[in-house]
Amino acid sequence: MNRSFDRWASILFVLVGVFFIFASRNLSETAYGSGVGPNIFPFGLGVLLVIFSVRLFYETFQYKDDTTQGIKLDWKNFSIILIITILYICLLEWFGYVLCTFLFLVIAFQIMERGKWLLTILIAGLFSGGVYYVYVYLLKGTLPSFPLF
Amino acid sequence: MTTLEFLYNGFLVSLQPENLLYAFIGVLIGTAVGVLPGIGPMSGVALLIPIMSTLTSGASPESAAASSIILLAGVYYGAMYGGSTTSILLNTPGESSSVITTLDGYQLAKQGKAGSALSIAAIGSFVAGIISLIALVLLAKPLSDLAIKFGPAEYFSLMILGLCAVSGLAGKSITKALMMTVFGLLLATIGIDSVSGIARFTFDMPILYQGLEFLTIAVGLFALGEVFKTILEKETNTGHVAKVGRIIPSKKDLKDSSAPIIRSSLLGFFIGILPGAGATLASFFSYIMEKKISKNRAQFGKGAIEGVAAPESANNAASGGAMIPMLTLGVPGSGTTAILMGALIMYNVQPGPLLFNDHPQVAWGLIASMFIGNLMLLILNMPLVKIFAKIIETPPKYLTPLIIAISIFGVYAVQVNTFDLFLLLGFGIAGYFLAKNDFPLAPLVLGLVLGPMIENNFRRALTTSNGDYGIFLTHPISLTFLVIAALWLIIPILLKLRGKKVIVNEEG
């Protein structure tokens, strides 16, 4: 188990719990026709979350830390994929579904493994065009169409 | 109407051409999901919920719900068939419930008997599927008739029991599982409170009024989480795919495995009904049981056909058994059934005792379609197993970006806003890191699905008792549930304290 992750996670969850405890104090304490208000349930859960998180924090002192793992994580590819996914989401409603999806897939395929451009472009084109055609024309759904300008 | 009449009507629903097609696509995708190591039944089902809701958008709500659940359930039990393929051919399980199959399955493949191992696994899965379905048909009505007598206090305690059971068995640390459960329940409180109409934790953001969408969170946690895992950990199949060989099993193999199949089906079914104990535990226990009973004990681990037949039957029977508490009581016992239940709720179909009265089309249509789906799987898996073996070689290069694109399309098509897409991405990242550090995700989803119902029943019970918390302890059935729930958490802790090794269910 990764001790430092568990400690940070328990601190984070304590904060989440405390947040819900305080936020639920602003809620009404009664509901119409009932003495049981909308605040009790989240308040109780917040308390429970704090208790369990403190318990986890305590547990982190009990077990042996084995952070040393065999697998080396590929942070570079992950962060590039993450960034292009964020860009994809941000630009989706501006540049349209087909264009954004096509570009996203081409870049992502190439990041996963270089080369084979023809297959890359073919799969990306078929997916983005195919999904748009089926969804918008056959199923009459709504997707952001082509560039807004 | 009698059970048989209901079943007949169910067959009418599931034999409609479009539903037959959905069942077929479901089991086909399910088999592929089971075969592909990077994607498990939970992410497969989660990924397909938005796709199904767009595909069925033209139909009436009831038939749309029936069609969707037919396809989604097909993915679930189809994955149980497919999981055996990689275990046997590649020595890497396609999903966690087939881990135990690798022990004997790969040995058989090395001896050139992969084909008969695969077909015995398919036959075992089929028999188990049918046995658990018959039990489901017999138990559905009496169980829902019993559950309909429950009041809010009983219901609250029953759902607490479900949550505790799943938390007690999920993952390595009960503390972490409980944290995830509570976190899921807390996330469910965001949005407009259905009892008082007050907006909770929304900060006047209109987008939060309807609450966090279950679908977004499920797709993010499971589908994107697994994608990020593949990218970060660079999973590659370096193993050598064994030759399939002759598919028709020999008479001796059939004779040797028939008794283990029947035994494991029954055992798997009952383990499946128990909340928290899913297909993984069922396959594990059935293997141990067969090893104790079997005459050629020495062969186990060296390529005994019983060692393939038993776990593969058990995990399929367990997936049928797991449907029972979800459909009849409205309390799912595992992560995948929680996702299936979330899908039904999306269509305004509330699983639980009233399901069989209010929506017989959905409930019996699903059960009937599972008969047909199991038959399809048997036919698919026997002659086509060589084609499925090819799927293993699908390069992750194309698969992972496509899963991201499908997740984004699915969530956007249903929610039509980019807020949910960011939420999806956030939960994807959280899902990867939480799962990597042994924070189980199944309890979170379970809490999210059950949250609104737990809270409603909790408040209704307290309203009838004028705020007296004793109501949960004075009603005998409710008290029983709570005691069992407490035991479920305490017993594993006590066992651990005494130095015993506790088997946990990693599937969720």
Residue pLDDT, tens place only, B166-186: 888 777 788 999 999 999 999
pLDDT at residue B379, as a whole number: 86
CA-based nearest distance A126→chain B, Å:
12
B437, A82: Cβ pair inside 8 Å? no
**CA separation for the pair B143, B127 (Å, rounded):** 24
Is residue B393 within 8 A of residue B237, CB to CB? The reply is yes
**CA separation for the pair B207, A74 (Å, rounded):** 35
CA-based nearest distance B466→chain A, Å:
7
Average pLDDT over residues A36-59: 91
Range name among A1-5, A41-45, B367-371 with the lowest pLDDT average: A1-5
Chain B residue with minimal CA distance to A143?
Answer: B413
- Backbone torsions φ then ψ of B449, nearest 5 degrees: -75, -40
Please tell me if residue A20 touches chain B, with a CB cutoff of 8 Å: yes
Q: Which residue has the higher pLDDT, B112 or A44?
A: A44
Enter the tokens of residue B296.
């050629």
- pLDDT interval class at B244 (50, 70, 90): confident
Among A135-144, B37-46, B153-162, B168-177, top mean pLDDT goes to: B153-162
- Mutate one of A41, A59, A69 to test the B interface: name it (highest B CB count within 10 A): A41
- With a CB cutoff of 8 Å and minimum separation 6, the contacts of A126 are none
Question: Residue A139, Cβ neighbours under 10 Å: how many?
Answer: 14
CA-based nearest distance A149→chain B, Å:
20
- pLDDT interval class at B427 (50, 70, 90): very high
Average pLDDT over residues B141-169: 89
Domain boundaries, chain A: 3-59, 75-138
- A118 exposed, middle or buried (CB, 10 Å; 0-12, 13-18, 19+)? exposed
Enter the tokens of residue B291.
């090893």
- pLDDT interval class at A144 (50, 70, 90): confident
Please tell me if residue A134 touches chain B, with a CB cutoff of 8 Å: no
Q: Which residue has the higher pLDDT, B479 or B255?
A: B479
Is residue B325 over pLDDT 50? Answer: yes
- pLDDT interval class at A124 (50, 70, 90): very high
Residue A112, helix vs strand vs coil: helix
Average pLDDT over residues B26-32: 91
pLDDT single digits (tens) A67-111: 555 667 889 989 999 999 999 999 998 888 999 999 999 999 998
Enter the tokens of residue B89.
């051919």
Q: Which residue has the higher pLDDT, B380 or A109?
A: A109
Chain A residue with minimal CA distance to B192?
Answer: A38
Q: What is the average pLDDT score of chain B?
A: 87
Q: Are strands B191-192 and B199-200 parallel, antiparallel or unpaired?
A: antiparallel
- The predicted complex's ipTM stands at 0.92
For B103-213, strand residue ranges (E) read: 191-192, 199-200
Is residue B309 over pLDDT 80? Answer: yes
Is residue B1 over pLDDT 80? Answer: no
A141, B409: Cβ pair inside 8 Å? no
- pLDDT interval class at A1 (50, 70, 90): low
Angle separating helix axes B396-415 and B41-55, nearest 10 degrees = 50
Average pLDDT over residues A11-34: 84
Average pLDDT over residues B310-326: 90
Average pLDDT over residues B323-342: 89
A49, B404: Cβ pair inside 8 Å? no
Enter the tokens of residue B126.
């089929």
Q: Which residue has the higher pLDDT, B278 or B318?
A: B318
pLDDT at residue B236, as a whole number: 59
Q: What is the average pLDDT score of chain A?
A: 86
- pLDDT interval class at A31 (50, 70, 90): low
The DSSP code sequence of B16-32 is SHHHHHHHHHHHHHHHH
pLDDT at residue B304, as a whole number: 87
Is residue B192 over pLDDT 60? Answer: yes
Residue B171, helix vs strand vs coil: coil
Enter the tokens of residue A97.
């579904």
pLDDT at residue B474, as a whole number: 92
Enter the tokens of residue B447.
């809490």
Average pLDDT over residues B210-226: 91
- With a CB cutoff of 8 Å and minimum separation 6, the contacts of B156 are B454, B457, B458, B461, B472, B478
Is residue B231 over pLDDT 50? Answer: yes
CA dist list (Å): B66 to B15, B77, B85, B343 = 12, 17, 29, 11
Average pLDDT over residues B109-115: 85
Please tell me if residue B11 touches chain A, with a CB cutoff of 8 Å: no
Is residue B35 over pLDDT 90? Answer: no
Residue B494, helix vs strand vs coil: helix
Q: Which of B175, B200, B234 sits opposite A38 (nearest CB)?
A: B200
Q: Which of B186, B412, B437 sits opposite A2 (nearest CB)?
A: B437
- B197 exposed, middle or buried (CB, 10 Å; 0-12, 13-18, 19+)? exposed
Residue B419 CA, distance from chain mean position = 28
Region of A31 on the Ramachandran plot (φ > 0 left; ψ -120 to 50 alpha; else beta): beta
- pLDDT interval class at B8 (50, 70, 90): very high
Enter the tokens of residue B460.
């209704």
- pLDDT interval class at B404 (50, 70, 90): very high
- With a CB cutoff of 8 Å and minimum separation 6, the contacts of B140 are B3, B324, B327, B328, B356, B363, B367
pLDDT single digits (tens) B233-243: 876 555 667 77
Is residue B439 over pLDDT 50? Answer: yes
- Backbone torsions φ then ψ of B307, nearest 5 degrees: -70, -15
Judging contacts by C-beta atoms under 8 Å, the chain A residues touching residue B467 are 35-36
- pLDDT interval class at B508 (50, 70, 90): very low
CA dist list (Å): B236 to B53, B360, B372 = 33, 45, 35
pLDDT at residue B235, as a whole number: 63
pLDDT at residue A33, as a whole number: 63
Chain B residue with minimal CA distance to A123?
Answer: B398
A 88-117: CB under 8 A from B: 88-90, 92-93, 97, 101, 104-105, 108-109, 112-113
Is residue B129 over pLDDT 80? Answer: yes
- Tracing tokens 């039944």 back to the chain, one arrives at B41
CA dist list (Å): B495 to A2, B46, B258, B325, B491 = 24, 35, 35, 27, 6
Is the torsion defined by CA of B86, B91, B95, B101 positive or negative?
positive
A43-82 b/e (C-beta count within 10 Å ≥ 16 → b)? bbbbbbbbbbbbbbbebbeeeeeeeeeeeeeeeeebeebb
The DSSP code sequence of B209-238 is TT---HHHHHIIIIIIHHHHHHHHHT----
**CA separation for the pair B91, B315 (Å, rounded):** 18
The DSSP code sequence of B96-125 is GGGTTHHHHHHHHHHTT-HHHHHHHHHHHH
Nearest to B331 by CA among B473, B190, B144: B144
pLDDT at residue B507, as a whole number: 46
Q: Which of B175, B409, B422 sits opposite A56 (nearest CB)?
A: B175
**CA separation for the pair B217, B221 (Å, rounded):** 6
